[in-house]
Chains A and B, each alone.
Chain A
Amino acid sequence: MEPKRELLDALCANARTETADLARQTGLSEDEVERAIADLENEGTIRGYQAIVDWEAVDEDHARAAVELNVTLDRETGYAEVSDRLAKFPEVDSLHLVSGNYDFLMIVEAGSVRKISRFVSEKVAPVPEVTQTVTHFVMETYKEGGIEMNDGDDDDRLSVSP
């Protein structure tokens, strides 16, 4: 596997892995690791680093929703223009153009279910191109960004085996 790909895999597993450990894992020197990460950041392959948080453990009112959006377009307005406007709302965590029965899938986060409801009805629905919204509140999160949110199964392998 390419060293850059190895680095990306290691960073996706844990973005806080120390440079020395990344070097050990990839077989690169520490300087090479730092240079490669800088390149990946500069060229825009790595867009940022975030923590994956179990928000329910911190704030039981914290709410999340997946919002399906349908839009109509005209000669002056394409998906890019609509997405530009929607993505700027701080409540929007992620926004994807998708195939299927609706156009955009928007993940929204806010301090409460009420705040999300108000955001969708007062900010999103009035956008002229938006013709329909369907909001699905997240009731429980089991996996996020590749990380399972339960505490995982204990390792039930024999501690010594052939």
Chain B
Amino acid sequence: MRTSERVGRVPPSGIRRFFELAEERDDVISLGVGEPDFSAPWAARDAAIGSLERGRTSYTANRGMRELREAIARHCAERYDLAYDPAEEVLVTTGVSEGVDVALRALVDPGDRVAMVDPSYVSYKPGVLLADGEPLPVRTREEERFRLTYEALERAGAEEADLLILCYPNNPTGAVMHEEHLEPVAEFCREHDLRVLSDEIYADLTYEGEHVSIATLDGMRERTIVFNGFSKAYAMTGLRLGYALGPGEGIEAMNRIHQYSMLSAPTTAQHAALEALESCDDDVEEMVGAFNRRRRFVLSRFSEMGIDCFDAQGAFYVFPEVPGDDEAFAEGLLEEEGVAAVPGSVFGEAGEGHLRVSYASGLPQLKEAMNRLEAYVSSR
């Protein structure tokens, strides 16, 4: 069958290849997972079950259930100082992935340049290509703790860009940006009239200091769409529920695509999400505490091994430097020690020479995996 030229431009996922390699073995300890090892809080699951028992299986409003949008607006105002009108400025999406895709299609014209943090989440670049935009990776550096800087934007020629995709706390590096780091980026966006898509799905998984959204900085609200959701902090990856916050005209444009492609986000998941926001703060706190202990454990083990790894302060990843080619390193680690971790180059050129190590696994598995990693490093 003839397929579109647009799809031909999208390369196959590098993660997919590693997934297939890892699946060939049954003794693998995985440090390659991008989702919590916890289950969604019981109250949220129970709300999902209850919604099914009551036969709530119809579509909801395109933008999402009104009560959910109101709860999201309250939550974001209280937690992140993001004030949005639930009627006009909130869109409930099928995961942040759909939100970003819809935003790119709504905001990008053919040939528009879209700057994005490199390294970052694997879907941004394909999303830009599918929206007929031109991806413009902006390299971040380990010596700057993988934070985006004004200078990095200049070096990449981002003044020519129309849009900037941010992802902090970052997948795959675990880097975070506090207000003092975001301000110069905001200045660049104001000076060069860039709109911003800010993926903040890992916001609750910020271990040192508070998460700050770029949309809260002066002059940024009107040019930013903020994305967040329930996958990471509430361990609801499979329920596929995210949301976008932004100025009315941006959200309306996104909704125009969303209403034809998705109609509305899954109803059952929306009921779970509403309950999660209303009653699951303690579950989140407990999970974040467990992640933080694992983060310290993993960072400390890398330090003991003499492997260079900056102190990632967010998400559930660390991003150590590895000797030589990262793909060869990761393949060898998988073959010789049965430990799966994703090569950094999968997330962009700036990730070369690194490994994405997820600590979303129990401490006993992490301990064993780090011992095996140490054995692998010392045998090379």
Given contacts A159-B340, A160-B18, A161-B15, contact A24 B297 (CB under 8 A): yes
> How far, in Å, is A29 (CB) from chain B's closest CB?
11
- Knowing A24-B297, A160-B18, say if A9 contacts B340 (CB, 8 Å): no
CA separation between A17 and B122, bound complex, in Å? 37
Separation of A13 and B289 alpha carbons in the complex (Å): 12
Contact B289 A6 (CB under 8 A): yes
A22 to chain B, nearest CB (A): 9
The proximity string for A residues 19-46 relative to B, scoring 1 for CB distances below 8 Å and 0 otherwise, is 0010111110000000000000000000
Query: Given A21-B367, A24-B301, A25-B363, does the pair A158, B33 have CB atoms closer than 8 Å?
Result: yes
A26 and B297 CA atoms in complex are apart in Å by 8
- Give Cα A152 to B301, complex, Å: 27
Contacting pair B22 A6 (CB below 8 A): no
Which among B35, B122, B171, B293 is the interface contact of A157 at CB below 8 angstroms? B35
A10 at the interface (CB under 8 A from B): yes
Q: How far is the CA of A1 from the CA of B288 in the complex (A)?
A: 10
Does B57 lie at the interface of the complex (its beta carbon under 8 Å from any beta carbon of A)? no
Residue-by-residue, is B294-321 near A (CB-CB < 8 Å gives 1, otherwise 0)?
1011001100000000000000000000
User: Is there contact, CB below 8 Å, between B297 and A160?
Assistant: no
Q: How far is the CA of A59 from the CA of B23 in the complex (A)?
A: 40
**Quick check: B294 and A162 within 8 Å, CB to CB?**
no
In the bound complex, CA of A27 to CA of B3 (Å): 53
A78-137 interface with B by 8 A CB criterion? none
Given contacts A21-B297, A24-B300, A24-B301, contact A161 B292 (CB under 8 A): no
Query: Do A160 and B363 have beta carbons less than 8 Å apart?
Result: no
- CB-CB contacts below 8 Å: B254-293 with A: 289-290, 292-293
Q: How far is the CA of A155 from the CA of B363 in the complex (A)?
A: 14
- Any A CB within 8 A of the CB of B37: yes
Number of contact residues on B: which range applies? 20 to 34
Given A13-B363, A155-B37: A160 and B293 within 8 A (CB)? no
Instruction: Report how far A157 CA is from B360 CA in the complex, Å.
Output: 11
Any chain A CB within 8 A of the CB of B32?
A: yes
Interface residues of A in 130-162 (CB under 8 A from B): 155, 157-162
B121: which A residues are within 8 A, CB to CB?
Answer: 162
Contact pick for B289, options A1, A23, A24, A157, CB 8 Å? A1
Beyond A6-B289, A9-B289, A21-B367, whether A161 also contacts B32 by CB under 8 A is yes
Distance in Å from the Cβ of A19 to the closest Cβ of chain B?
13
Contact with A159, one of B22, B296, B300, B301 (Cβ below 8 angstroms): B22
Q: How many residues of A contact B (CB 8 A)?
A: 20
The 8 A CB mask of B117-130 against A (1 = contact, 0 = none) is 00001110000000
Residues of A within 8 A of B32 (CB): 159-161
B367 and A159 contact, CB distance less than 8 A: no
Closest A residue by C-beta to B367: A21
- Of A6, A21, A25, A155, most buried by chain B (CB within 10 Å of CB) is A25
> Do the beta carbons of A160 and B15 come within 8 Å of each other?
yes
Per the bound structure, the CA–CA distance linking A130 and B73 in Å amounts to 55
Complex Cα distance, B269 from A40, in Å, reads 43
Confirm or deny: B170 has a beta carbon within 8 angstroms of a beta carbon on chain A.
Answer: no
A157 with B297: CB separation less than 8 A: no
Are A25 and B18 within 8 A (Cβ)?
A: no
Contact A162 B293 (CB under 8 A): no
- For the complex, give the distance between the alpha carbons of A161 and B122 in Å: 10
| Given A1-B292, A9-B289, A160-B367 contact (CB < 8 Å) | no
Minimum CB–CB distance for B21 against chain A, Å = 8
Closest to A1 in B: B289
A13–B297 Cα distance when bound, in Å, is: 15
When the two chains form their complex, are residues B289 and A25 in contact, meaning their CB atoms are under 8 A apart? no
Besides A155-B361, A162-B34, 19 new A-B residue pairs in contact (Cβ under 8 A), listed by A number: A1-B289, A6-B292, A9-B289, A9-B290, A10-B293, A24-B297, A24-B300, A27-B296, A27-B300, A157-B30, A157-B37, A158-B33, A159-B30, A159-B32, A160-B342, A161-B19, A161-B35, A162-B121, A162-B123
Interface residues of B (CB under 8 A from A): 13, 15, 18-19, 22-23, 28, 30, 32-35, 37, 121-123, 171, 289-290, 292-294, 296-297, 300-301, 340, 342, 361, 363, 367
Chain A positions within 8 Å of B, measured between CB atoms, are: 1, 6, 9-10, 13-14, 17, 21, 23-27, 155, 157-162
Sorted nearest first, the 8 A-B pairs with minimum C-beta distance are A160-B32, A24-B300, A25-B293, A160-B19, A159-B30, A159-B22, A24-B297, A161-B34
